[in-house]
Amino acid sequence: MTAALEPGRQQRRVLLIIGGGIAAYKVLELIRLLRKEDVNVLPVLTRAGAEFVTPLSVAALAGAKVHEDLFSLTDEVEMGHIALARAADLVLVAPATADLIARAAAGLANDLATTLLLATTAPVLMAPAMNVRMWQHPATQRNVRQLMADGVTFIGPEKGEMACGEEGPGRMTEPADLLHAVLERLNEAEFRFSSSEERPLTGRHVLITAGPTHEPIDPVRYIANRSSGRQGFALAEAARDLGARVTLVHGPVNLPCPAGVHCVAVETAEEMLRAVKDALPADVAIFAAAVADWKAKHTADAKLKKDAEKNSFTLELEKNPDILSHVGHLEKDRPKLVVGFAAETGDPVAAAREKLRRKRADLIVANDVSPQKGVMGGNFNEVILVSGKEEERWPRMMKNAVARRLMEKIAGILQDSDK
Ligand code: CTP
């Protein structure tokens, strides 16, 4: 799967809903980039959006009529709003404001934009842009989780200095990255199977671990890490879409369980190991969890008090079980394919090779998490697949595109091993 549209294909159409935020000006550049890639843009401008960019500039760049009004007689005669919703291969909301996100999450249809979002059957991509506090508000986060559970994909917001002068997540993703995401999503949307028999993972059981683990120190404290679980959850969705029965064993995360996936929520590495053993046998096991390497040797039953006399405190740690290594070394019930991840800041290939051997994995997905790559907490990932024989470098792409391509690769390996 490549990001660029392949020549000779039918022109694809993106319904572009422009919300009311200062980032709307960046959408003009995005329209230009989309047109350059031969993508047709059907622009929809909300009333608030029209306060930031004019219909004339949008129409001129898109080379198409700008739709603004749900109750426009002429628009309804030319192309009704239901037909407009159906005409798109993809819907992109940019900038997606807090208000637009809230109305979409509630399923309202009180203007053209929200009506189209309810009426469309195409994949929906949202690029939020708002003040950092508005983004972090529990109401916005609740709405985002709801939309994610409904199948909407979010790209951004990015961290940085904002028009309002504050710093933090809230900036809309840059047009070049949005273009990339749109092209990837269009290519994915084409990837459909007409019947379940055609799905390459039908009849297979895929076991996935995801997220961090929490290792208790006392009843109120624990050791944790910053893993969001996003890559593992995206893998579970991709495996499900390819027809697999999926068990997703995950640590504490802020993500809804994907529809059609069997989720097992755990806290500690020990619990994760137990849940993985219970879920076997599986055809494939993918270990995307960021398991804590260490746990407290003794967990206190009561909250630890600080000793006023002492300026330091020593917490004795002991090794957690290595879940990937345990499954990789199984004699009985070892999955046909055992896949691990390796997030590295040094040489990812050398480290992945060492992990492949030590943990007896068949494949390691290595990624460079150096800060300049912007992988941690971001939407994009750049991975290198390391197996016994070879290494394969993939270009930078969205995390769910990595998941889709990885599951396709795994399906291919399983099919070859059956021959
Ligand atoms: N892993 C696991 N159980 C553990 C630690 C890691 O299943 N206790 C899995 C991870 O899910 C990942 C792979 O092993 O698929 C590599 O994890 P990583 O933390 O990079 O490896 P470590 O063995 O902990 O090596 P490092 O010294 O680099 O931390």
Helices (H), 89-209: 98-106, 112-119, 132-136, 138-149, 175-190
Q: Work out the angle at residue 142's Cα, subtended by the Cα atoms of residues 248 and 398, and round it to the nearest 5 degrees.
A: 55
Could you tell me what percent of the chain has a pLDDT over 70?
92
Q: Is the pLDDT of residue 302 over 50?
A: yes
Quick one: pLDDT band at residue 114, thresholds 50, 70, 90? very high
The listed range with the strongest mean pLDDT (46-60, 82-96, 244-258, 373-387) is 46-60
Could you say which of 1, 83, 164, 259 is catalytic?
164
Q: Are 31 and 16 in contact (CB under 8 A)?
A: yes
pLDDT tens track for 337-371: 999 999 888 889 999 999 999 999 999 999 888 77
Residue ranges covered by each domain of the chain: 12-189, 196-294+314-418
Q: What is the CATH topology of the domain spanning 196-294+314-418?
A: Rossmann fold (3.40.50)
Q: Rounded to two decimals, what is the model's pTM? A: 0.71
Residue from 323, 362, 406 whose mutation best tests the ligand 1 pocket (most atoms within 8 A of CB):
323
Residue type, 50: A
Average pLDDT over residues 327-344: 96
> What six digits make up the tokens of 119?
């009426």
Distance 329 CA to ligand 1 centre (A): 15
Assess whether 263 carries a catalytic annotation.
no
What is the gyration radius of the CA atoms in the chain, in angstroms? 23
pLDDT score recorded for residue 2: 37
Q: What is the CATH topology of the domain spanning 12-189?
A: Rossmann fold (3.40.50)
pLDDT score recorded for residue 72: 74
